Amino acid sequence: MAYYGALGAGLFALLLPSFDRALNQHKLVRRSSVARFWLDTTACCLLGVLLSATYLAPLFTDFLATSVRVGSSNFAWQTISATRSWDVQ
């Protein structure tokens, strides 16, 4: 669900200058102010990623260590012939 929120916030930030131009037609919107808005928004997003890196780095390293161990497991007990009750062994 957090991905949907990030996607929605990103689309909102991307389209906000267009909405501002459509709603305030009497106001002149310069490209430099729009570029500055996008630059500030990108800087804030990168700052947020950097601030959350202390939490994300251990999460990813633990996830990768666990997923490699689970991925190399032997799942021979879960074959189709083992789950059918009518096979005689």
pLDDT tens digits, one per residue of 33-78: 888 988 998 898 889 888 888 887 887 788 777 766 655 556 555 5
- Does the reported pTM lie above 0.75? no
Let me know if residue 40 belongs to a domain: yes
Residue 60 lies in a domain: yes
pLDDT band for position 21 (cuts 50, 70, 90) = confident
Question: How confident is residue 86, by pLDDT bands cut at 50, 70 and 90?
Answer: low
Residue at 85 is within a domain: no
Q: What is the pLDDT of residue 3?
A: 77
Our count of domains for the chain comes to 1
Token digits of residue 24: 């305030």
* Residues 32, 38, 41, 45, CA torsion sign: negative
Cα-Cα-Cα-Cα dihedral of 28, 31, 36, 42, to 10°? Answer: 120
Residue-level pLDDT at 17: 80
Q: Tell me, yes or no, whether 78 lies in a domain.
A: no
- Selected residue with higher pLDDT from 26 and 82: 26
Domain membership of residue 42 (yes or no) is: yes
Which domain, by its residues, includes 52?
35-71
Residue 29 lies in a domain: no
Note whether residue 46 is domain-resident: yes
H helical segments located in the chain: 2-23, 31-71, 80-83
